[in-house]
Amino acid sequence: MADDRVKEEALRMLGLFQVLPKLVVFDLDYTLWPFYCECRSKREMPSLYPHAKGILYALKDKGIDVAIASRSPTPDIAKTFLDKLGIQPMFVAKEIFSSWTHKTEHLQRIHRRTGIPFKSMLFFDDEDRNIEAVSKMGVTSILVDDGVNLEELRSGLRNYASNSASSNTKQSD
């Protein structure tokens, strides 16, 4: 599926939900792209998962901010790849640093930088431990198996809407 078709489908999907996150946070390795940065050279041309770029553009078109939370030990390579892919300016925050905190520190920094409450965020990552830790902060968190795609986005939006409804009042669906 080409980027434009993915973007159109993602925009259609976003239009189905009355409640949307203010910020969507993505891991990099095995979430936006299919590799570990530290195993690559800055000279290489990276690639994203097939649906990633269309999803990013749809979120931006809908006025939803996007950010990065990555525990990569090679932030220089990650930022070079974001530049090469032409997507670095899209992100309101890029927290890329090695850590043992399972992304909690990354999300706290993103919160401080953006002012967006944890309950208004949606987070995609490929590691269970990060999903568990960040969920405890009140962030709707989605485990991705093989990169972010339209099905994962749909799942994230559903879970976010459900969490928002139950945190506001105990509304019935």
- Structural domains of the chain sorted by starting position, each given as residue range(s) with its CATH number in brackets: 2-155 (3.40.50.1000)
State yes or no: pLDDT of 172 exceeds 80: no
For residue 138, CA distances in Å to 16, 67, 80, 169 come to 23, 17, 31, 16
pLDDT category at 2 given cuts 50, 70, 90 is: confident
Beta-strand runs (E) in the chain: 23-26, 65-70, 91-96, 121-125, 140-143
Average pLDDT, integer, range 40-52 = 95
List active site positions: 27, 29
61 CA to centre of own chain:
15
Write down the pTM of the prediction.
0.94
Average pLDDT, the chain: 93
CA separation, residue 35 to residues 13, 47, 146, 162 (Å): 28, 9, 11, 32
Q: Taking a C-beta distance cutoff of 8 angstroms, is the pair 116, 22 a contact?
A: yes
